[in-house]
Amino acid sequence: MVYTRTGDSGTTSLVGGVRTEKDNVRLEAYGTVDELNSHLGLLSAMTDDESIRAELQWIQNSLFAVGSFLATDLSTTQVNEASVVTEEMITHIEKNIDEIETSLPRLKAFVLPGGCVAAAQCNVCRTVCRRAERRIVTMVKFIDADEAQYATLLKYINRLSDFLFVLGRKLNNIANIDEIFWNNVCQ
């Protein structure tokens, strides 16, 4: 059964079974990661490029690990090893960023979100990723956690938003659509 009725009163269980309110900062953090994962699924459905789809699926799987880590109260429960974000995951993302950047024209101005539909969706993913990063930072402060325990995870999320920026540029490049540059008329 999909429904358990255990959350009907506005609480849910963390990894390890501790119950907490659904508006808890921890749930806001991993809920935003879940939202990002859903947006990435939509982005994946918008592209026919199998290498991009495979990379997005790798990221979606990694975000399940991120969500599981965030759903674990490290003061009461040992984190599952499969939920730990590693330096290798960060290196994987950085390698992809570097590969994409070598195939793109050098940036000379700020790029506005838009272009093809997939690139626009990629920028939605990027901004949700940035929000997830802010929610995680808030969570770490609020629960008075050892920031070192979350340092690699935050680095991964930060790098992921960089990846999504360059991927958006690549998607416009693949679609042969010019990037939209900021027309700085606000001065």
Residue that wins the pLDDT comparison between 17 and 131: 131
User: Which of residues 182 and 81 earns the better pLDDT score?
Assistant: 81
Under the banding of pLDDT at 50, 70 and 90, the label for residue 57 is: very high
Given this model, what pLDDT does residue 142 score?
A: 82
Residue 160 neighbours by CB distance under 10 Å: 26
> Predicted confidence band at 186 (pLDDT cuts at 50, 70, 90)?
low
Query: Which tokens hold the place of 110?
Result: 């700020």
- Residue positions counted in the chain: 187
The mean of the pLDDT values for the chain is 87
- This model's pTM is above 0.75: yes
For residue 6, pLDDT beyond 70: no
- Residues 6 or more apart whose Cβ sits within 8 Å of residue 92: 58
Q: What's the pLDDT tens digit per position in 118-174?
A: 999 999 999 999 999 999 999 898 876 667 788 999 999 999 999 999 999 999 999
Could you give the percent of the chain with pLDDT greater than 90?
59
Around 146, how many Cα atoms within 13 Å sit in the side-chain half-sphere? 5
pLDDT of residue 169: 94
pLDDT band at 21 (very low <50, low <70, confident <90, very high): low
DSSP state string for 81-102: GGG---HHHHHHHHHHHHHHHH
Q: Are 180 and 111 in contact (CB under 8 A)?
A: yes
Distances (CA, A) of 95 to 58, 85, 105, 113, 137: 14, 16, 18, 23, 25
pLDDT at 40: 98
